[in-house]
Amino acid sequence: MGNLLEIELKQETLIASAQENTVGNFLSGAQAMMECLLAEGVDNIFGYPGGAIMPTYDALYDYIDRIKHTLVRHEQGAGHAAQGYARVSGRTGVCLVTSGPGGTNLITPIADAIIDCTPLVCIVGQVKSTLLGTDAFQETDMIGVTTPVCKWNYQITDPDEVPEIMAKAFFIAKSGKPGPVVIDFARDAQAAKMTKAFSYKKVEKMVSYNPRVVPKQEQIEKAAELINKAKRPYILFGHGVLIADAMQELLDFVEKTDIPCASTLLGLSAMPNNHPNYMGWLGMHGMYAPNVMTDECDVLIAIGMRFDDRVTGDSTKFAPQARIVHIEIDPSEVEKIKKTEAPVIGDAKEALKMLFPLVKKGDFTGWKNEFRKLDVKEYDKVTLRDLNQEGKIKMAEVVALLSDKTNGEACIVVDVGQHQMVTARYYQFRKPNSFIASGGLGTMGFAIPASFGAKVGAPDREVVGIIGDGCFQMTIQELGTIAQSGLAVKMIILNNNFLGMVRQWQQLFFDNRYSFVELQNPDFITIAKGFGIDGHTCSERENLSDSLDKMLDSKKAYLLEVIVEKEENVFPMVPAGTSVSEIRLE
Amino acid sequence: MTTYTICVFTENSIGLLNKITIIFTRRRINIESLTVSETERKGISRFTIVIKHEKREEVEKLVRQIRKIIEVLAVFGYLNEDIVYNEIALFKISTPLNGKSVDVETINKIYKAWVVYWGLDYVVIEKTGTETEIFDFFKYIKPHGIIEFVRSGRVAVGKTPQGLIEYLPEEITEWEYYL
């Protein structure tokens, strides 16, 4: 952020450094913050400096060999990059920004992280504690502003508080249902010395916050009884499986019981797509069989998912016949949407481990075949049309081809809209933590910074951002971050010159009245080149395969723009607020 | 509409009131009254929040959402029959020289209210009781001319023999919330 107080700040720094020589050897609040990050094993942070966070950036300067900092181009980019990093690596993402606009620019990623359960620690500068509440330069009440959208927040006004608060912050962010924590760090607390020697003790439990990890035995037994009695059981698993690292436990459970299962959007890649019990994913634009069969099952086993309205449609008509087992770490999610007969409060990994010996071996071949019969219908009505190779290139064929070329092993980061749904439908995931999307909040502009963050979190993996032309322009400046980092982030723009999903709705539900959805786009490749990122445009089907190869073979960041069919619709579709039985295939 | 009394035990920290009330705002539930004070255990605050709601399940969800706030130690939801509860009201009543004098005996014996301050041409009467009792007294005293009237939020204790604070952990124990 631009800084009008630079001269004053410099003087303060001089005074501070003069004091250093006379006062004892205790660390400053800012130095203590760096030590806390090291103690928590943080090796990458994403941020943007400014007036109220300068003492911390000054301290960081002595730690740059141990804590790698990425300078983003906008604080929103820092937040989404930290999310991408956290989602791919399972670690806590850390952002460092200044007060006022620095903090408010971070609100969207914080809101995104709370709804998608992403562990973040956001360190936000704040004006000197003596200036709090005076409308000082770049002062925003970050505690007030972030309270509704974060898991926890705290204002540090005394350097001695830093170790204890940061230990709590990292514990709260990562444990239970993960989420974003905001630390509002007053400038004088950054600059002032602690009055005691720095010591750091990791927090593992708190009196007021102690999420249950291991479920109660009686809940497990009740769930097992219900599962064992089921004639047509059906598993819906979500993001919780990935967060709990319960992929193997889920596979073991499914293979023993032979229960068919489906994923939510954010649960994608928790189970390999080619597993015989995997039926696809469900939701508004999910697959036909997984959606429709929610009306046919007798026992629904929900694992690490929360019956979001994009999954259930009209929740009163969602699986009304089913008895529900709900494995969930957050007690407030149980019965929030659906009456639950057997709630299991705890971590998905622990719950599945405990359930495993109690459930009996099963064979549900006949029941699974009912799913497969519906798949044929979807293939005929939707998939064939999406992949028919007629007319302009369609989004689906780009994703399907990318899936083949990467053997389903790339980490795919998507933005929000039609391209997101098509990617979820046509990429054949083989590896976990491979689908990174803004699911709950639906934040356009997520993918460029999140792809970058994912590449930082998994430098050895192929990371491909699949992005719409509208989304791309929301955080286009982060191309600069990618270029400066030198990381080989691959990006594909599926360009239809429309805000495609809104256009689809206007076509289907608003009588073709296209209200402000057509875009006059810039020359994306020229822009990328201006930032120092190579790329090219592909508009002909015969060049598509070579174009993808060229992008994947690049050792540096690369942007491939694919011009796709302008007015293609995504099906199946469960119109908002209706039941899954009203699903449309065309 | 049913009246629910929600008791929230929390650590005593800045900004917590906002974190709690924002949950009511988000669910569009109006707070009828709210009282906060420190409990018999130091550093632990007790919120007593009264709401009216048609659906018990929604109140249960609300209770679970409040429990989710990091600094919250425990939440209990009650129906009126489960608790002993009271409010306190102060009435500033006009007593001009030639006016009708207040009947202290009726006030004391019938209404269990007390004159706590004698001014030159007014008195302050304190009345403790339920909302209904306070409004009964309000109706009685109104003809004298009420200069000022103020009523506190509800405070309540459960009818169970143990204190709620016994549910709070000395250290770490398993938590339950009741409704």
Residue B126, domain member (yes or no): yes
Check CB contact under 8 Å for B72 and A208. Answer: yes
Give the pLDDT band (50/70/90) at residue B100.
confident
Chain A partners within 8 Å of B15 (Cβ): 143-144, 147, 153
Residue-wise pLDDT for B15-30, tens only, equals: 899 999 999 999 999 9
Domain with B71 in it: what CATH number?
Answer: 3.30.70.260
Same domain as B141, residue B89: yes
- Note which residues in 190-249 of chain A have CB less than 8 A from chain B: 205-210, 212
Q: What is the 3-state secondary structure (H, E, C) of A267-306?
A: CCCCCCCCCCCEEEECCCCCCHHHHHHHHCCCEEEEECCC
Whether A147 sits inside 8 A of B19 (CB atoms) is yes
Whether chain A has a CB inside 8 Å of the CB on B109: the answer is no
Strand partners, B17: none
pLDDT of B129 above 80: yes
At A164, is the pLDDT very low, low, confident or very high (cuts 50, 70, 90)? Answer: very high
**Residue-level pLDDT at A20:** 46
> Looking at the domain covering A392-564, what would its CATH class be?
alpha beta
* Chain A residues touching B65 at Cβ < 8 A: 332
Residues B22, A144: C-beta atoms closer than 8 Å? no
Pick A332's closest partner by Cβ from B68, B169, B172: B68
Q: Which residues contact A460 (CB under 8 A, 6 or more apart)?
A: none
Rounded Cα–Cα distance for residues B130 and B65 (Å): 28
What average pLDDT does the segment A119-142 reach? Answer: 97
Average pLDDT value for residue range A228-234 = 97
Q: How many domains does chain B fold into?
A: 2
Tens digit of pLDDT for each residue in A422-479?
999 999 999 999 999 999 999 999 999 999 999 999 999 999 999 999 999 999 999 9
| Interface touch B175/A151, C-beta < 8 Å | no
Structure tokens at A585: 């295939």
A152 closest CB neighbour out of B26, B70, B171: B70
pLDDT at B171: 47
Cβ–Cβ of B172/A143 closer than 8 Å?
no
B11 → closest Cβ in A143, A205, A208: A208
Residue B178 lies in a domain: no
Is B42 in the A-facing interface, judged by CB distances under 8 Å? no
- Residues in chain B with CB shorter than 8 Å from the CB of A210 are 172, 175
Whether the per-residue pLDDT at A502 is higher than 50: the answer is yes
Is the Cβ pair A151, B172 closer than 8 Å? no
B-chain CB neighbours of A158 within 8 Å are none
Find, in chain B, the residue whose alpha carbon is nearest to that of A209. B70
Mean per-residue pLDDT of chain A = 94
Asked if residue B16 is part of any domain, the answer here is yes
CA B4/CA A577 separation, integer angstroms: 31
Residues of B in contact with A155 (CB under 8 A): 14
Residue A54, φ and ψ in degrees, nearest 5: -60, -40
Point out the least confidently predicted range of A13-17, A111-115, B166-170.
Answer: A13-17
Is A166's pLDDT higher than 70?
yes
Residue A24 is predicted with a pLDDT of: 60
Residues from chain A that touch B73, judged by Cβ atoms under 8 A, are 207-208
Which positions in chain A touch B67 (Cβ < 8 Å)?
331-332
Q: Is the pLDDT of residue A293 over 80?
A: yes
Say which residues have a Cβ less than 8 Å from residue B166's Cβ, sequence separation at least 6: none
Residue B117 sits in a domain whose CATH number is 3.30.70.1150
Q: Mean pLDDT check: name the lowest of A166-180, A263-277, B56-70.
A: B56-70
**Range A6-191: architecture per CATH:** 3-Layer(aba) Sandwich (3.40)
CA A539 – CA B8 distance, rounded (Å): 61
For B122-142, the DSSP string reads EEEEEEEE-HHHHHHHHHHHG
- pLDDT, tens digit, 9 for 90 and up, residues A188-213: 999 999 999 999 999 998 888 989 89
Section A47-65 average pLDDT? 97
Partner-chain contact B172 A205, CB within 8 Å: yes
B14·A155 Cβ contact <8 A: yes
pLDDT band at A19 (very low <50, low <70, confident <90, very high): very low
What is the reported pLDDT for A15?
43
Q: How far is A178 from chain B (nearest CA, A)?
A: 12
Ordered alpha helix ranges (H), A48-98: 54-60, 75-89
Secondary structure (H, E, C), A5-41: CHHHHHHHHHHHHHHHHHCCCCCEHHHHHHHHHHHCC
Q: How far is A544 from chain B (nearest CA, A)?
A: 48
Q: What is the pLDDT of residue B169?
A: 60
Range of the domain at B94: 84-155
Domain presence at residue B104: yes
> Does residue B173 lie within any of the structural domains?
no
Assess whether the region A6-191 and the region A217-371 belong to the same CATH fold.
Answer: yes
Tens digit of each residue's pLDDT (9 = 90 or more) over A314-349: 999 999 999 999 999 999 998 899 999 999 999 999
Name beta bridge partners: A6.
none
pTM for this prediction:
0.92
Cβ–Cβ of B70/A205 closer than 8 Å?
Answer: no
B77 and B46 within one domain:
yes
Segment B35-57 mean pLDDT: 91
pLDDT at A11: 45
Interchain CB contact of A321 with B (< 8 Å) = no
**Within a domain: B24:** yes
Confidence of residue B170 (pLDDT cuts 50, 70, 90): low
pLDDT > 90: percent of chain A: 93
Q: Indicate yes or no: CB of B10 within 8 angstroms of CB of A208.
A: yes
- In chain A, the residue whose alpha carbon lies closest to the alpha carbon of B65 is A332
A172–chain B nearest CA distance, Å: 8
Same domain, B21 and B73: yes
Q: Among the CATH numbers 3.10.105.10, 3.40.50.1100, 3.20.20.370, 3.40.50.1220, which is that of A217-371?
A: 3.40.50.1220
Among A61, A52, A72, residue whose Cα is nearest residue A2? A52
Decide if A151 touches B, using CB distance below 8 A.
yes
CB–CB contact B26 A331 (8 Å): no
Domain ranges, ordered by start, for chain A: 6-191, 217-371, 392-564
Is B172 inside any structural domain?
Answer: no
Q: Which of A90, A343, A81, A107 is nearest to A239 (CA)?
A: A90
Residue B102 confidence class, pLDDT cut points 50, 70, 90: confident
- A208 vs B18, B57, B73: nearest CB: B73
